[in-house]
Amino acid sequence: MNESTLQGAPKELFTPRLRLEHPREAHAAVVMESVNASLGELRYIAWGQVAFTAATAERFCRRNAERVAAGECLIYFAFDRSTGALVGNLDLHSFEFDVPRCQIGYVADSRQAGRGLMHEAGAALMQLAFDLGVMRIEAWCDARNRRSIALAERLGMKREGLLRAYERDESGALCDQVVLARLHDDIASFYNAFPHPLPD
């Protein structure tokens, strides 16, 4: 597994209710709307501290598209297939190809919460990672971010540790990180939640 593996990954993924696709500059308007509507829930996300302008959203989408094209990571924007609404964005990053392992990240549009859509999207992305040969997927969550931790656990990830005073948040305060992981060997029960995903 290497960068070319990521470059050859599907540009779109489909689940019963969602379409996941790589970021493009054309997504800028819906990304700006989503981020600005969800700022109250993005306090643990470095880039979610201030409202997006049109220019900020364009740079965000362009940079993410460039990272995907370079094989640096995999990023998908998840859209509701019935309404076209942006549900959130998800990524696989921090690859260590020798293992191979990676981390999963996810940011939801708060207006779409409670329907299990991010669980559905996360399950699809983790399945893709395992299909590509990843043996271990990690989630690193701010210990205060209970919703993020809960989603990781619903995706079958197990808590492996707490890193105390690991880093500083955007306000400069020391914060702890919870590390969760799921292994390829756990894949047999991966889609047990479908076709009835748990709520976010």
In Å, how far from its chain's centre is CA 2?
Answer: 20
**Regarding predicted confidence, which is higher, 113 or 165?**
165
The answer to which of 38-52, 73-87, 124-138 has the lowest mean pLDDT is: 38-52
Q: How many of the other CB atoms lie within 10 Å of CB of 107?
A: 20
- Are the CB atoms for 102 and 94 separated by under 8 Å? yes
Q: Residue 44: its pLDDT value, please? A: 80
3-class SS of residue 189: helix
In order of their start, the domains of the chain are 3-133 (3.40.630.30)
Residue 181 CB contacts under 8 Å (≥ 6 apart), including other chains: 136, 137, 138, 139, 157, 158, 160
pLDDT, mean of residues 49-54: 90
Q: Residue 56: its pLDDT value, please? A: 95
Q: Residue 133: its pLDDT value, please? A: 96
Predicted TM-score (pTM) of this structure = 0.89
pLDDT at 188 over 70: no
pLDDT tens-digit profile of 100-158?
999 999 999 999 988 999 999 999 999 999 999 999 999 999 999 999 999 999 999 99
- Are the CB atoms for 107 and 77 separated by under 8 Å? no
